[in-house]
Amino acid sequence: MNKDEKKKFIENYFNGNEEEKIKCLNYKNEKMPDSLFKYTRANEHVYDLICDDLLFLPKIEKLNDPYEIQLFYDIEKIAKEFSFKNRKIVKKEVNGAEIEAEYYKDMAQEDKKELNDIIHEINENIKNKLSIVCLAERNNINPMWAHYADNHEGICIEYDLKKYENTFLKAICFPINYVEKNDVTDDLISLVVYKNLENVIFLLKVATTKSKDWEYENEWRIVFIENDFNYSDFYSNKHYTTFIKPKSIYLGLKIGKNIKKEIMDICKFRKINLYQMVKKDHNFILKPNIILKFNLDKLCPINL
């Protein structure tokens, strides 16, 4: 799914009606990458991922972007719409120029505090209800190995989500929209003032929007929304969710010998492909060397 296809999906999905949303989801599921990758540390929790097919579900505050789920908005514009709608303030026209009733400003000032409280509650609600699984399109992104896989001492897990039969998981998997500025003023007007924007759509839009500074990650997110939208039954417990069996595991450049041996034994038993990431000789691109490869349920060991 290239940038133009992602842009087309994002614009049509978040602005379309129900029928258009269904078409967009089908389009996204067809165009999504064949594989998505999870970079992670090789600690005691990694066995939950590769042995039990679980995925950790961090809350928003545990993610590393300080602007995660940050709502940027123009309270003056929202208060103006709120006052005109709820107090029925009518604009007057004098000599062809539009002016506002003098008492509008006082009322808007009163409204701003109430609106800020409402928006703060919305923001807190988002933080409490959302859990996010972060995945990447590629397994050879150097900064990702450094930031998320313990400076190349961890692993990268490949998932073949596109071919997975669980349509629910694919339906809640979205590409990230990277933007220069994320102003949600108009969305908040629709949500708070006119109440013609669904809560779940607003939550998804906020959860899948990030600064362009993070664009190198090529991120996709599986977004879980608790309780109100009947997703809670999908949780195995409060920290993990049942996921799918890994297709392959990629070992970091600096993986320790002991953990490498343990992961190799698991991959042999579970028939999961295993690769060792190595440096190419003439550029800065990491490449995977095969350690274990499965074909028609037959193990083909490669000399280490």
Nearest CA among 35, 34, 44, 57 for reference residue 249:
35
- DSSP class of residue 189 equals I
Q: Cβ distance 251 to 276 under 8 Å? A: yes
Please report, for the chain, how many H helices and E strands are present, in that order: 10, 15
- DSSP class of residue 118 equals H
Q: Cβ distance 251 to 275 under 8 Å? A: yes
**Domain ranges within the chain, ordered by starting residue:** 1-31, 32-301
| Identity at 205, one-letter amino acid code | K
Stated pTM of the model: 0.83
Q: Cβ distance 292 to 267 under 8 Å? A: yes
Give the pLDDT of the chain (304 residues) as one tens digit per residue: 888 889 889 989 988 888 999 999 999 988 899 999 999 999 888 888 899 888 888 778 788 888 888 889 999 888 888 877 765 544 444 444 454 544 455 566 677 888 888 888 888 888 888 888 999 999 999 999 999 999 999 999 999 988 776 677 888 899 999 998 889 999 999 888 888 777 888 888 999 999 999 999 999 999 888 753 333 334 444 567 788 899 999 999 999 999 999 999 999 999 999 999 999 877 888 999 999 998 744 444 444 4
CA atoms within 13 A on the CB side of 59: 10
And the tokens for 251?
A: 């070992």
Q: Give the separation between CA 29 and CA 94, rounded to whole angstroms.
A: 55
Helix or strand holding residue 129 (H, E):
helix 104-129
Q: Is 15 strand, coil or helix? A: helix
Q: Give the separation between CA 272 and CA 275, rounded to whole angstroms.
A: 10
Q: Give the separation between CA 40 and CA 38, rounded to whole angstroms.
A: 6
CA atoms within 13 A on the CB side of 35: 13
pLDDT value for 106: 59
